[in-house]
Amino acid sequence: SSAQASLSGRFEGSVYGESKLAGEGLFREYSERTGAPVLIYRFPNLYGKWCRPRYNSAVATFCDAIANGRPYTVNDPSVELELLYIDDLVDEMLGALLGEEHRCGYEGLERVEGEDFCYVPQTDVKSLGEIVYLLGCFRDSRETLSVPDLAEGSFSKKLWSTFLSYYEPGHFAYGLKPNVDDRGSFTEFLRTPERGQVSINVSKPGITKGNHWHMSKWERFLVVSGTASIKLRKVGEDAEGNQFPVDEYVVSGSDMRAVEMIPGYTHSITNLSDTEDLVTVMWANEPFDPENPDTYYEEV
Say which DSSP state 149 is in: -
Helix (H, G, I), strand (E, B) or coil at 166: coil
Which residue(s) pair with 102 in the sheet?
A: 119
Torsion of CA 31, 33, 34, 36, to 10 degrees: 10
| Residue 207 near residue 183 (C-beta atoms within 8 A) | yes
Q: How far apart are CA 87 and CA 95, in angstroms?
A: 12
Q: What are the backbone dihedrals phi and psi of residue 158, each rounded to the nearest 5 degrees, phi first?
A: -70, -40
In 3D space, the residue among 162, 190, 151 whose CA is nearest the CA of residue 67 turns out to be 162
Helix (H, G, I), strand (E, B) or coil at 110: strand
In 3D space, the residue among 263, 196, 272, 195 whose CA is nearest the CA of residue 230 turns out to be 272
Q: How many CA atoms, within 13 angstroms, populate the side-chain half-sphere of residue 66?
A: 25
Is 30 in the active site?
no
In 3D space, the residue among 247, 252, 282, 285 whose CA is nearest the CA of residue 267 turns out to be 247
Say which DSSP state 255 is in: B
Q: What are the backbone dihedrals phi and psi of residue 52, each rounded to the nearest 5 degrees, phi first?
A: -70, 120
Count of Cβ atoms closer than 10 Å to residue 276 Cβ: 14
Residue in 16, 30, 133, 296 annotated catalytic: 16
Helix (H, G, I), strand (E, B) or coil at 128: helix
Q: How far apart are CA 210 and CA 230, in angstroms?
A: 10
Active site residue ranges: 16
